[in-house]
Amino acid sequence: MINEPRLVNLFRDLCLINAPSLQEKDAVAYVHQLLKSEGFEVMEDEAGKAIGGNANNLIAWLRGNLPDAPRIFLSAHFDTVEPTAGLIFEEKDGVFYSASDTILGADDKSGMAPAIEAVRAIKESGEPHGDVCLLFSCAEEIGLLGAAALKIEDLGLDFGYVLDTGPPVGSFVNRTATHDKIDIEIKGRPAHAGKEPEKGINAIQVAADAISGMTLGRIGPMTTANIGIISGGSGTNVVCPSVKLKAEARGVDEAELDKQVDHMLKRFESAAAKWGAEVIIDHRREYRGYEHSEGQPALDLALRASKAIGLEPELRTTLGGSDANVYNGKGIPSVVVGTGQDKIHTHDEFLRREDLINTTRLAIQLIKEAAKLSRASL
């Protein structure tokens, strides 16, 4: 059923289109035209305008001939973590990689190409199926912005699958963490560092005091915290008047996460009070975690599909986020599917041909398994 040369060529072509976050216009145009030319219903939303990018989310439908079957979706994202201009795409010993000084972009073209080939193959086969929606988002890598702007709740979908995590193919992420971000600004007081340093309040010293008493790193088995960026100061001859920091915390257990975040905020507040500085804190919940248990339709269908094509289904927990966090948060059950993308976000990124094919086989089987169900049974 799979047209392997077509699948591989599509994966290559998608990787070769430069599509960093907020600049995915060319990739969206390519996929839009491809799907439209093959008779799929294709539309774009207005996400680009909402998030300040040059591209929108793309929504395409393979309409079914089983009106009572669940309406499912297959999802992936257009953007990559860095520009791929100048990518030299190569295959060696059944492995795709970048032979140039760029990433490959398998994150997430290894999800997009199989999703497209799956609906093509199902359409060509003439097999009965329900409605299948392709959801391809923009700006995933910089905070799930495209998914957040997408009005998925208006599409009438029952559940779906986000093809966007590493090996093994046949594995599924059924539990993820909640992710908080914290921006901190510490305002001290400037003074000449040589003439009258005692009249200043050094914001760097305040930040150091706060951080020195802070628990960071691995807090628990499923809770982490980090301060990743710090900037400030104007010169060595000036007592530093201002420092800005960016931090985050993640946790599967929200109570434990809340405790960690409260600890971090109090450390900054107490240090500022001790030194007579001012602290401004912007704490926000980027996305909430989720958990799918066996017995829930979306997960059970995925496990059946994996077994049906001879793969070993495996359930995983991750502290990373994906569009599925947003979709689940909007009330549409979403399970993350392993695609085989490996060493992502590095120039050593690669994808095995076998994994590309098996991800496509799995996507096809997800559609077939959904066709066996009725919406009334969900």
Write the CATH number for 251: 3.30.70.360
In this predicted model, what pLDDT tens digit does every residue of 86-107 receive, in sequence order?
A: 999 999 999 999 999 999 999 9
**Residue 185: active-site member:** no
User: Are 206 and 272 members of one domain?
Assistant: yes
Last residue of some domain: 242, 262, 286? Answer: 286
The pLDDT assigned to 320 comes to 87
User: Are 23 and 168 members of one domain?
Assistant: yes
User: Are 275 and 298 members of one domain?
Assistant: no
The pLDDT assigned to 327 comes to 97
User: Are 249 and 126 members of one domain?
Assistant: no
Question: Which ranges constitute the DSSP H helices of the chain?
Answer: 4-16, 25-37, 47-51, 106-125, 145-149, 203-212, 254-275, 297-308, 323-329, 353-371
User: Are 14 and 142 members of one domain?
Assistant: yes
In this predicted model, what pLDDT tens digit does every residue of 129-169 receive, in sequence order?
A: 999 999 999 999 999 999 999 999 999 999 999 999 999 99
User: Are 277 and 342 members of one domain?
Assistant: no
Last residue of some domain: 224, 254, 286? Answer: 286
What is the number of domains present in the chain?
2
User: Are 160 and 147 members of one domain?
Assistant: yes
User: Are 336 and 278 members of one domain?
Assistant: no
In this predicted model, what pLDDT tens digit does every residue of 219-270 receive, in sequence order?
A: 999 999 999 999 999 899 999 999 999 999 999 999 999 999 999 999 999 9
Exactly one of 24, 107, 108, 140 is catalytic; which is it? 140
Exactly one of 79, 323, 342, 369 is catalytic; which is it? 79
**Other CB atoms closer than 10 Å to residue 374's CB: what's the count?**
12
pLDDT band at 1 (very low <50, low <70, confident <90, very high): confident
User: Are 158 and 25 members of one domain?
Assistant: yes
User: Are 207 and 239 members of one domain?
Assistant: yes
d(CA 67, CA 347): 45
The pLDDT assigned to 377 comes to 83
Please check whether residue 99 is in contact with residue 25, taking contact to mean a CB–CB distance below 8 angstroms.
no
d(CA 375, CA 378): 5
User: Are 271 and 335 members of one domain?
Assistant: no
Question: Which ranges constitute the DSSP H helices of 150-191?
Answer: none
Last residue of some domain: 254, 270, 286? Answer: 286
User: Are 257 and 129 members of one domain?
Assistant: no
**Residue 79: active-site member:** yes
Which tokens hold the place of 16?
């070769």
d(CA 280, CA 278): 7
Q: Which domain holds residue 130?
A: 4-176+289-377
Is 376 a residue whose pLDDT tops 90? Answer: no
Is 78 a residue whose pLDDT tops 90? Answer: yes
What is this structure's pTM? 0.91
Nearest residue to 311 (alpha-carbon basis) of 167, 112, 96: 167
